[in-house]
Amino acid sequence: MRAIILAAGLGLRLQQQPGEQFPKCLLRFDGMTLLERHLQMLDAAGVHEVVLALGFQPESVEAELKRIGWPRPVEIMLNPRYDLGSVLTVHTVADALTRGGDVLLMDADVLYDERILAALVAGDHANRLLIDRDFETGDEPVKLCLKDGVPVELRKQVAANLAYDTIGESVGFFRLREETAQRFAQIVAGYIDSGRANLPHEEAVRDLLLERSHVFETADVTGAPWIEIDFPNDVERASADILPLLQPLVGAPR
């Protein structure tokens, strides 16, 4: 199993001061960056093959890898047009998507409990989504809607006439089987070829779900603490509300 961590963006919505911007994966909570937390949790879960999709200030992320002395190889792939949508970043790492085995596609800007990752990696081979039914309504969360357990929508805006029986927020992590990852890479390439490189990669995931060519499981992680960090108040909430609920991490492998 391979983890692809998407960490290319500018993080403009955090409203950092000019000259003080840095990749969101370098945000620190209790002295540890999100990047180090990702690596430690993946390693503890038995996922040792990690690909970092970088763009903005890649040297800062590389410096963090050296600072923490991470002992396992981490493959770095660069998206030079990181100012465009994340679908272009996914296209940049198409080789990592399609080289075989299950793939975890993960946003870098998430602070999360080990139960979140455990639900994602459980079992041998699976296509899996994560849903949190306890979410704040509004325009920002990416909603995942199910009908009889089948995904019928993955978007921030849900059509008023959509028929579904379950709705929740999609955690920014997806698990894809080998053949599903290959189809996903094809869909992403279609976005690039048709001039839609400025779109979020969730739109391509949505297309994959709705074409129904691959069966997806949905793991309910309601009650497990996590937060996606987009705005300054998310940083405050992460420190005050989420961090105290997380299980302590084991040390880095040696």
Which overall architecture, per CATH, does domain 2-225 show?
Answer: Alpha-Beta Complex (3.90)
Average pLDDT score over residue span 110-134: 97
pTM: predicted TM-score of the whole model, two decimal places: 0.95
How far is 7 from 147, CA to CA, in rounded Å? 32
User: With 0-12 CB in 10 A as exposed, 13-18 as middle and 19+ as buried, what is 114?
Assistant: middle
Average pLDDT score over residue span 34-42: 98
- pLDDT for res 137: 87
DSSP 36-50: HHHHHHHHHTT--EE
- pLDDT for res 17: 54
- pLDDT for res 16: 55
